[in-house]
Structure 1
């Protein structure tokens, strides 16, 4: 695939690699292992005699199937602590997309399944060990790490080894602030009403970070969150750029909260408008692969044609969210819906004489097959190609064009390592401003057009 600049003088393709994407597979797993090892070591050295770990398997930002290695490594670390007299065990688990890690309040039942396992110790699946749980649950041909059902580990007497109870100290360690906020609300809020918690344990709770600086949630945390300042959204608001942002629930934070440096709300409510299209709840993405792509595009089209905004930004999630299911046929349907949505937006830009920038933050749906080192598809024992459900490390395209693009605009040739970080300056330049000097440089240049 290639991006294309469409000016009056040139049209060519351009790729850039997401510098963040190179961190998407084994590096993430190794960093998580290193993190839990530090936490376990620190807790035991500071006098903890009873430790319980509630795990969530991934298969999304790391390869599907890595859960087995993950659990084996953790079990070995816990066994070493037991040799030192620390009662350390895995207490429960489940797949991240089915247990605990919902976001933007899209589906509270996901969080409830985690609550039932982690706090109440109640799930349909109970095992004597986490390793047996993961292996047995993955025996289902349709199973994957993302959607493993919740399970509880039982002791020798058949009771859950570690439900969260009054007096416990609880630390949630997770890189995804957006996916920890909902659990933090359930653990902290006295007047919580999103589902019946059955019991509300009185615990000492801290997050690895403060997951939401606006809500001050959680109120206690181990590491101060990074302050992300001077974002492009703030820069444009200060310079009077009227902005509209829209996506469906599962990606709404990506065009608002994340975009603004992990900040909720507006920089200038007189200049900005954010609109959320509710995502389907309780329905797998491969069952409704079109998602809300067209609805998002229609909102964007209306915003463009209204003349009330100078920038319209949207996220079309199909290739990511449906691609993660590993369902190729559904992903094709989802990508077609995304294409349909993009055309609606581009047609509107054409009508108003605007400029478009189309890109992605990582690969996903363009390659959905697990491959060996020689790039040949990996097959299971029955000869079936194994689906790839995690992000890919392929470069992603960027396309810039539209009737409003200056004649003579071309991609720069002196940025061989350009990536997502360069997009902010590019967009600011397209609005007619000079990007701040501390930004990564713009991707475009404008050469004089000869008569």
Structure 2
């Protein structure tokens, strides 16, 4: 049987919906995708919920679980489901890691850092609440919460609702033997939650706020959020860092002998802050000023190859028999490329949450550095440059399987800008057209799909007909396209 190269193009965040209002996919000019649908083998795929290992079909898909599923061809229980199961069974609270976390002295503090929302992509507020309740039950005297505001996987200005939930819980729990407070915070796209070494300044800003207590001071988190919204016109994901103070002093700096738990279960935006807490003198990304001697744990282990972190509360999915492993067994060369924002998805997540290659000899990974500008200002991103290099790799005849991720539909979709997202989707279609011609020339098989939806729903669903339009910035539960071109197959 003739072996022909295969190209896989992942249109990140490009889902399908029959609705036309706010649909930056249906309303975009996409002649190349339409050509593939009409001339290839075409179907739609479910890319959310139980189909990708999430707890229920109400759970939105995301790039992490999408690339895990695409890269392994299997369904594994994913982060939120694993944590749900561990909490429900109380297994989490019987682990040595939890026992170490809550063994702090009465003078020390357990700190929880992470994304505060019920978006279910990186974290879940229900997990945070349960951890704090059980910390009190275990005899912990002091708890501090460092809140990273969402506005991306949930409505863009919903943060005050989550703050209110936590403040209400603290009022119920606090007594003469227990004291819980919000200590610091900021927007997820401005502090702490950087990924793929794209912007370590984000992590430094988070470190200064969470650990050192440095940043603009407020008497409570709600005031911080409303002040920044009014002054800067930003939504929750872009809020500047804030520090909560009483009597002029931060209420929750991180000190020696404290415990620190990073409560996100998804790994990509947890790795860098974890390195800041756990690395010694080899850490060189920024001046940490002081490094408190703490017991640090993650909700999950974010990278098994690097044992990062050493301590974690829930066992992550152990993904084996990935496509890469199979191709390496056959001695086939692979080429993976994307720009910074999704580079880890075509490598780390594709290979089953492993930072290292299965084979240095047979795998080529290429990262194109993303522009350091807001995505809505440059919605074409690096689509042309990544396509240039993939076509060059195809024409070299050195690779049998080539994969590329176009982040545009997802990253621009998260900004809430409909016009910019429309341009981003059309940009991707233009590049798919270039891949189509290259595949025809090389007699290659071209597969085009998406990892989850986003760009096809740019408006929140109205609760009342009279409600004003509100931009939607989160993923969806819609189907995604899947087409195979230039192959004699039926779907």
Q: If the TM-score is normalised by the length of the shorter chain, which range does it land in? A: 0.7 to 0.9
Contact 2:448 2:483 in 1 (8 A): yes
Q: 1:36 aligns with which of 113, 128, 133?
A: 128
Per-residue deviation at 1:373? 4.9
TM-score of the pair, normalised by structure 2: 0.76
Q: 2:151 aligns with which of 41, 45, 59?
A: 59
- What CA RMSD, in Å, does the superposition of the two structures yield over aligned residues? 2.4
Match of 1:441 in 2: none
Equivalents in 1 of 2:198, 2:177: separation in Å?
Answer: 42
Equivalents in 2 of 1:368, 1:249: separation in Å?
Answer: 24
Match of 1:399 in 2: 483
Indicate whether 1:87 and 2:167 are aligned: no
Match of 1:197 in 2: 288
Contact 1:5 1:13 in 2 (8 A): no
Match of 1:15 in 2: 44
Match of 1:150 in 2: 241
Per-residue deviation at 1:180? 0.7
Per-residue deviation at 1:399? 2.0
Match of 2:454 in 1: 364
Spell out, residue by residue over 1:382-429, the C-alpha distance to the aligned partner (whole angstroms, 9 max, x if none): xxx321111122222122213xx11xx322xxxxxxxxxxxxxxxxxx
- Look up the SS of the partner of 1:214 in the other structure: coil
Per-residue deviation at 1:4? 6.3
1:29–1:279 Cα change, 3 Å: closer
Contact 2:155 2:473 in 1 (8 A): yes
Per-residue deviation at 1:150? 1.1
Equivalents in 1 of 2:388, 2:131: separation in Å?
Answer: 47
Equivalents in 2 of 1:315, 1:377: separation in Å?
Answer: 39
Spell out, residue by residue over 1:131-182, the C-alpha distance to the aligned partner (whole angstroms, 9 max, x if none): 2222333345732121111111111x02111011222111111022111110
- Look up the SS of the partner of 1:346 in the other structure: helix
Equivalents in 2 of 1:30, 1:349: separation in Å?
Answer: 36
TM-score of the pair, normalised by structure 1: 0.82
- Structure 1 window deviating more from structure 2 (138-147 vs 49-58): it is 138-147
Per-residue deviation at 1:301? 0.6
Equivalents in 2 of 1:112, 1:341: separation in Å?
Answer: 36
Q: 2:388 aligns with which of 298, 312, 322?
A: 298
Question: Is there any run of 5+ residues in structure 2 with no aligned partner, and where?
Answer: 1-15, 17-25, 27-32, 50-56, 61-116
Indicate whether 1:253 and 2:355 are aligned: no
Match of 2:276 in 1: 186
Spell out, residue by residue over 1:174-233, the C-alpha distance to the aligned partner (whole angstroms, 9 max, x if none): 022111110011111122111121221121211112211111111222223321111122
Contact 1:29 1:62 in 2 (8 A): no
Match of 1:216 in 2: 307
Q: 2:490 aligns with which of 410, 422, 433?
A: 410
Equivalents in 2 of 1:10, 1:398: separation in Å?
Answer: 13
- Matched pairs, number: 397
Per-residue deviation at 1:6? 5.4
Contact 1:101 1:111 in 2 (8 A): yes
Spell out, residue by residue over 1:343-382, the C-alpha distance to the aligned partner (whole angstroms, 9 max, x if none): 22222111111111111111111221122257x6941xxx
1:169–1:323 Cα change, 3 Å: same
Q: 1:130 aligns with which of 221, 230, 239?
A: 221
Match of 1:114 in 2: 206
1:120–1:228 Cα change, 3 Å: same
Contact 2:118 2:124 in 1 (8 A): no
Equivalents in 1 of 2:298, 2:362: separation in Å?
Answer: 34
Spell out, residue by residue over 1:67-116, the C-alpha distance to the aligned partner (whole angstroms, 9 max, x if none): 12211111111112213631100101111111111101011011111111
- Look up the SS of the partner of 2:169 in the other structure: helix
Per-residue deviation at 1:278? 1.3
1:183–1:27 Cα change, 3 Å: closer
Equivalents in 2 of 1:183, 1:307: separation in Å?
Answer: 40
Q: 1:244 aligns with which of 335, 351, 372?
A: 335
- Look up the SS of the partner of 2:156 in the other structure: coil
Match of 1:449 in 2: none
- Structure 1 window deviating more from structure 2 (181-190 vs 58-67): it is 58-67
Q: 2:353 aligns with which of 251, 262, 280?
A: 262
1:133–1:233 Cα change, 3 Å: same
- Structure 1 window deviating more from structure 2 (33-42 vs 303-312): it is 33-42
